[in-house]
Amino acid sequence: MSTTAAPSTATKRGRPGHDQASVLRTSVEVFNKHGYEAASMGLLAQALGISKSAIYHHVPSKEELLRLALEEALGGLEGVLLLDGARSGAPNERLEFVLRGMVGVLVDRLPFVTLLLRLRGNTEMEREAMNRRRAFDRTITALVTEAQQAGTLRTDIAAGTITRLLFGTINSIVEWYKPGGHLSAKKLADDVLALTFQGLLVSGTA
């Protein structure tokens, strides 16, 4: 059973040749390449091959494009926490499920998560997104703590440190992973868990 939800962006028809989803995908590519603040509507229009006014048939503003993009990333990550595997079972099993789910979201929604991870907090919308990301981090830290208290995760490393190290490894995927290559999302998750998570388990709990 998949640990990630399907992308949630609704397909909204607009000018011929584009819909809201395609406008969003291209815009996120531009945001990631040039930075959100530097990406003008003119630059977006050039990348899309349409006029600036045509973009407004799909979205009311550049800010709305950012909101939709961040919702793709955050909605995917938060959605993992709502799946059965994240809500039932031993703490270490739930933690492993969530970590695998995170890798799946990064692979499925790579450009959107890349944008999320590069936020600087310069706008209210960015700060709200960063707060949601921190809340997600705290949830994982609490799960790490629960696994430590259950005796299945080593306790000589602080829960917060474990979370940061795990996230540091997983988040680095956006910098080098190429979708469509020989490395599948499942194999990538297996490799990440083998390198990071397995070394945290108390002997006999793997």
| pLDDT score of 106 | 96
Judge whether 70 and 59 are in contact, CB under 8 Å: no
- Comparing CA positions, the residue from 43, 5, 9, 41 lying closest to residue 24 is 9
45 lies in the same domain as 73: no
Ramachandran class of 151: left when φ > 0, alpha when ψ lies in -120 to 50, beta otherwise: left
102 lies in the same domain as 164: yes
49 lies in the same domain as 73: no
Q: Which pTM does this prediction carry?
A: 0.86
Judge whether 107 and 188 are in contact, CB under 8 Å: yes
Q: Is residue 94 assigned to a domain?
A: yes
Q: Is residue 43 assigned to a domain?
A: yes
Please state, in angstroms and rounded to a whole number, the distance separating the CA atoms of residues 89 and 125: 35
| pLDDT score of 18 | 79
195 lies in the same domain as 107: yes
| pLDDT score of 135 | 97
What are the pLDDT tens digits along the chain (206 aa)?
A: 344 444 444 444 444 567 899 999 999 999 999 999 999 999 999 999 998 889 998 999 999 999 999 999 999 999 999 999 999 999 999 999 999 999 999 999 999 999 999 999 999 999 999 999 999 999 999 999 999 999 999 999 999 999 999 999 999 999 999 888 899 999 999 999 999 888 898 876 65
183 lies in the same domain as 150: yes
Q: Is residue 2 assigned to a domain?
A: no
Whole-angstrom distance between the N-terminal and C-terminal Cα of the chain? 21
| pLDDT score of 2 | 43
33 lies in the same domain as 112: no
Q: Is 25 helix (H, G, I), strand (E, B) or coil?
A: helix
13 lies in the same domain as 97: no
Which residues, 6 or more positions from 66, have their beta carbon under 8 angstroms from its beta carbon? 31, 36, 115, 125, 126
Q: Is residue 156 assigned to a domain?
A: yes
43 lies in the same domain as 82: no
78 lies in the same domain as 43: no
88 lies in the same domain as 182: yes
74 lies in the same domain as 126: yes
Judge whether 5 and 79 are in contact, CB under 8 Å: yes
Structural domains in the chain (count): 2
Which residues, 6 or more positions from 73, have their beta carbon under 8 angstroms from its beta carbon? 105, 109, 112, 113, 115, 116
Please state, in angstroms and rounded to a whole number, the distance separating the CA atoms of residues 183 and 177: 9
Residue 63 is encoded by which pair of tokens?
Answer: 């800010």
Residue 142 belongs to domain spanning = 69-200
- Check which CATH number belongs to the domain holding 20 and give it: 1.10.10.60
| pLDDT score of 7 | 47
| pLDDT score of 163 | 96
